[in-house]
């Protein structure tokens, strides 16, 4: 017996406001191409190699937490 368990899908409502405010103007959050249940970071135009963004605001996370 297998039961279909609903899968939680991450939405923009799950993203803290300070994260949305801190996104560079050419970066957006849309459904991930890797995991459709998560949001991914997408560029609306090419980003030059070495481009730096910031300042960063929020909680520091370990790689295993993201």
* pLDDT tens string 13-52: 999 888 888 888 889 999 999 999 999 999 999 989 988 8
What distance lies between CA 12 and its chain's CA centroid? 9
pLDDT one-digit tens code per residue, 5-22: 778 899 999 998 888 888
How far apart are alpha carbons 64 and 38 in whole angstroms? 16
Residue 63 token pair = 């790689």
Residue that the structure tokens 């459904």 belong to? 31
In which element (H, E) is residue 21 found? Answer: helix 17-22
Q: Tokens for 9?
A: 């899908």
Query: Rounded to the nearest 5°, which phi and psi values hold at 43?
Result: -95, 135
């Amino acid at each position: 017996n297998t039961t279909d368990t609903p899968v939680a899908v991450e939405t923009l409502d799950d993203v803290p406001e300070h994260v949305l405010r801190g996104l560079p103007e050419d970066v957006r959050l849309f459904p991930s191409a890797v995991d459709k249940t998560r949001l991914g970071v997408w560029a609306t135009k090419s980003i030059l190699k070495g481009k730096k963004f910031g300042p960063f605001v929020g909680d520091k996370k370990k790689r295993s937490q993201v």
